[in-house]
Amino acid sequence: MAIASPQEIKRTRRGETSRAAILSAALDLFQERGYEATTMRAIAERAGASLGSSYHYFPSKEHLVLEFYRHTHELHLAAIAPMLAREKDLTSRLRGTVRAVVVTCEPFHAVAGSIFSTVANPSSPLNPFGGAAKPLREEVVALYAEVIKGSDARIPGDIAEMLPLTLWLYQMAILYFWIFDKSPGRLRTLEVIDETAELIVRLLTLANLPVLRGSRKRILGLIRSVVEH
């Protein structure tokens, strides 16, 4: 394995610092002016970087938002790692994971609101269901697969196959609720998470009943059709 030279290490660190400064400037401006009104030139000026340098690290504003997604996801993973290593109860694992999403994103609440209208547009490259967001979306779905796998819950195979994706959709619904939540500390959102996480796990338990197998197949089919289209 080649060892990086001091010059290469210095360039890497300088690049990381520049990227962080540009992202921070973008988030500040998104909050102040809104996503649409913010230009890459204004971001570069706020970051103290050249426009060419800004485009080198982030070819478009969309790339800045995708970097924001990635940043919050990494914070989220770090926050929940101890809980997932400790807890085996599925309700606790699910509740802790989704609570950590909104707690991690809370410092960026105003920014999230400023880009919501763009993200919600089906034609936007920032749409969570779009191609640009696919790599991170798959990582979050894989995280929920780990939330399930590491629990002591017994889940039917057909449900287990679709459950991680379904829980990602649940997370998205919670985040949209959080964006519009004006309660102090977003306590309403945390209460909704506590109630719905327990309800979801109870419904999974009921899904094992023979009388509900037909309904279970129809619901899973509906989820597949929504995601595939």
Q: Is the dihedral of CA 110, 114, 117, 119 positive or negative?
A: negative
Boundary of a domain, candidates 59, 77, 92: 59
Residues 215 and 120 grouped into a single domain: yes
C-alpha–C-alpha distance, residues 43 and 91, integer Å = 42
Check: CB of residue 30 under 8 Å from CB of residue 58: no
C-alpha–C-alpha distance, residues 128 and 107, integer Å = 20
Q: What is the CATH number of the domain that holds 35?
A: 1.10.10.60
Structural domain boundaries enclosing 186: 62-228
Boundary of a domain, candidates 31, 59, 87: 59
Instruction: Give residues with Cβ within 8 angstroms of 8, minimum separation 6.
Output: none
Boundary of a domain, candidates 35, 59, 83: 59
Residue 140 identity (one-letter amino acid): V
Residues 124 and 192 grouped into a single domain: yes
> What pLDDT, on the 0 to 100 scale, is given for residue 156?
78
> What pLDDT, on the 0 to 100 scale, is given for residue 228?
57
> What pLDDT, on the 0 to 100 scale, is given for residue 106?
92
Residues 26 and 112 grouped into a single domain: no
User: Which of 176, 144, 163 lies closest to 203, judged by CA?
Assistant: 163
Residues 48 and 5 grouped into a single domain: yes
CB neighbours of residue 90 within 10 Å: 21
> What pLDDT, on the 0 to 100 scale, is given for residue 80?
97
From first to last of its 229 residues, the chain has per-residue pLDDT tens of 455 455 544 455 676 889 999 999 999 998 888 888 899 999 999 999 999 999 999 998 889 988 988 999 999 999 999 999 999 999 999 999 999 999 999 988 988 887 777 777 777 777 888 888 889 999 999 999 999 999 999 887 778 888 999 999 999 999 999 999 999 989 999 999 999 999 999 888 776 655 456 566 666 666 666 555 5
Residues 5 and 90 grouped into a single domain: no
